[in-house]
């Protein structure tokens, strides 16, 4: 059995790198992500092999899709990003830090 708290970020506060913490893996992969101002490099795009369902639990963030649509997220907002939908994170708040829950799998 594994127990934790998604909001317990004391050990990663102030990190210069985004923290991606695997929580469970099997037919899906579940991750907690803590962002504190980190963004995707300007010429970089995420192009993932699987679908990603993500919910922003804390903070404020913006995701840019390849077709130039901007998605603004506040606590409780979630979205399903289909496999190979190119996207990048263009803003994450640092105070409070962004706490995300991401689930990767085949959701079609």
Q: 37-55, pLDDT tens digit by residue?
A: 999 998 899 999 999 999 9
The rounded mean pLDDT for the chain is 94
Say how far apart CA 104 and CA 97 lie, in whole Å.
22
Q: Which domains does the chain have, with CATH numbers?
A: 19-103 (2.60.120.10)
Q: Indicate the pTM of the whole model.
A: 0.91
Mean pLDDT of 17-37: 95
Q: How many CB atoms lie within 10 A of CB 36?
A: 21
Q: What is the CA radius of gyration of the chain?
A: 13
* Residue 2 pLDDT: 83
């Amino acid at each position: 059995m594994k127990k934790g708290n998604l909001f317990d970020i004391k050990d990663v506060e102030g990190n210069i790198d985004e923290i991606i913490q695997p929580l469970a893996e099997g037919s899906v992969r579940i991750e907690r992500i803590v962002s504190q101002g980190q963004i995707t490099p300007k010429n970089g795009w995420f192009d993932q092999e699987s679908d990603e369902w993500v919910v922003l639990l804390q903070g404020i963030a913006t995701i840019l899709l390849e077709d130039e649509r901007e998605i603004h997220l506040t606590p409780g907002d979630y979205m399903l990003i289909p496999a190979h939908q190119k996207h990048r994170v263009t803003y994450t708040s640092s105070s409070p830090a962004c706490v995300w829950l991401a689930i990767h799998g085949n959701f079609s």
